[in-house]
Amino acid sequence: MRILAIESSCDETAVAILNGQGDLLSLEVSLVRSQIDIHQAYGGVVPEVAAREHLAYIFPMLKQALADANLDASAIDAIAVTSGPGLAPALRVGVETAKALAWAWHKPLVPVCHLEGHLYATWLETRTPPQFPALALIVSGGHTELVLMSGHGQFVRLGETIDDAAGEAFDKVAKMLGLPYPGGPQVEQLAKLGNPKSFDFPRAMLDKPNLNFSFAGLKTSVLYKLREHEDKLAEPQFRADIAASFQEAVVDVIIKKTARALAEHHPKSIILAGGVAANISLRTRLQTLGDTHSVDVHVPLFAYALDNAAMIAAAGYYRFAAGDIVSPLTLSADPNQDIV
Ligand code: KG4
Ligand code: ZN
């Protein structure tokens, strides 16, 4: 079963072709064109600019993907596309393109939730995919959620952020430190040189008996600390200590809530997904947590941790196998789509 997938929810235009047989997924091509350098000038992603860039590149990339895989439309069994969540103008480019292809080529159309796609990044290039029930930790620029996955396409949300997402907090703290967008990798780099015990930033919601998160207070606390020490803002060690202490606070909260979810739900595996999954400190501590509880931890390969279409193809493959197709005439992008 060969799936052609399109992703355009934010600032990456991506196309992939994946061939699946049973649980054996073989990725034939995965193209990603990042627009980061264009949006950096604005300090964040500008939706209309993102859409314009997607429009300019989506068809050349589709042509390239088919050529790279040495295939034509007749070899494709279904078209999968990210239908949401994401930036409305950006999402629409992928969705309308997928609809046009599905209609013109007479192929089934499979809408895929972007967050579900991130989870399926751990199904790529592995012979030992996550076992169910799996506890999924989704940490991206827009979401921070703990989700229980009992089977393909079956999700129950256990907890989520009540304000900012973890990635958003990284991006905002980066901005306060004058670092370019996207801030996560920049803050992580800076944190490597700092002492995580320098500042005792708040760990919100830890005393609450639920699996929700909050990062707005932490962000504000960093802002006050920077204002308090305005004279030190240019000092490399001070900046590194701020970054390291901030990162430690975020990771502490995520790990403690995940530990609580493990104790309550006894999953067979843990899946880490979303852009923040690229963070080494988070990866390492989650691995240690899994080892302690004898639960397998599945982290996407770096190549599939950030937005890409290979993960959409993997999720789309299982959705297609379950018969989840829609008419190419009626699908519309849903910027607020959620995994449950
Ligand atoms: O999943 P993603 O590519 O896009 C969304 O769907 O949001 O995630 C992007 C987010 C950004 O907030 C970015 O700063 C964060 O992931 N991020 C990181 C790292 N790499 C990306 N955060 C912390 N450490 C990183 N290494
Ligand atoms: Zn994403």
Which pLDDT belongs to residue 85? 97
Which pLDDT belongs to residue 221? 98
How far does the centroid of ligand 1 lie from the alpha carbon of residue 86, in Å? 14
Which pLDDT belongs to residue 302? 86
Number of domains comprising the chain: 2
Which pLDDT belongs to residue 296? 97
Same domain, 100 and 235: no
- Is 196 within the bounds of a domain? yes
Structural domain boundaries, residue 84: 2-123+304-321
Same domain, 310 and 291: no
- Is 103 within the bounds of a domain? yes
Same domain, 70 and 104: yes
CB distance 316 to 108 below 8 Å: no
Which pLDDT belongs to residue 100? 98
Same domain, 158 and 111: no
Same domain, 170 and 203: yes
Q: Which of 140, 145, 253, 308 to mutate to test the pocket of ligand 1 (most atoms within 8 A of CB)?
A: 140
Same domain, 140 and 274: yes
- Three-state secondary structure call for residue 157: strand
Same domain, 182 and 224: yes
Count how many Cα atoms sit within 13 Å of the Cα of residue 95 in the half-sphere of its side chain. Answer: 26
- Is 328 within the bounds of a domain? no
- Is 340 within the bounds of a domain? no
Minimum-distance ligand 1 atom for the alpha carbon of 274:
1
What's at 323, amino acid-wise? G
Q: Which one of the ligands is nearest to 87 CA?
A: 1
Cα–Cα distance measured from residue 10 to residue 15, given in angstroms and rounded to the nearest whole number: 14
Same domain, 205 and 112: no
pLDDT values of the chain reduced to their tens digit, one per residue, 340 residues = 999 999 999 999 999 999 999 999 999 999 999 999 999 999 889 999 999 999 999 999 999 999 999 999 999 999 999 999 999 999 999 999 999 999 999 999 999 999 999 999 999 999 999 999 999 999 999 999 999 999 999 999 999 999 999 999 999 999 999 998 889 999 999 999 999 999 999 999 998 889 999 999 999 999 999 999 999 999 999 999 999 999 999 999 999 999 999 999 999 999 999 989 999 999 999 999 999 999 999 999 989 989 999 999 999 999 999 999 999 989 999 999 999 9
List beta partners, residue 151.
Answer: 154
List beta partners, residue 138.
Answer: 145, 273
Same domain, 167 and 152: yes
- Is 102 within the bounds of a domain? yes
How far does the centroid of ligand 1 lie from the alpha carbon of residue 165, in Å? 10
Q: Tell me which residue of 122, 92, 97, 117 sits closest to 107, measured CA to CA.
A: 97
Same domain, 275 and 140: yes
Which pLDDT belongs to residue 43? 86
- Is 311 within the bounds of a domain? yes
Print the SS3 string covering 68-100. HCCCCHHHCCEEEEEEECCCHHHHHHHHHHHHH
- Is 327 within the bounds of a domain? no
- Is 35 within the bounds of a domain? yes
Same domain, 165 and 281: yes
Same domain, 187 and 277: yes
Cβ count near 257 (within 10 Å): 22
Pocket of ligand 1 (CB under 6 A): 10, 140-142, 167-168, 170-171, 182-185, 188, 274-276, 278-279, 306-307
Which pLDDT belongs to residue 182? 86
At 243, which CATH number? Answer: 3.30.420.40
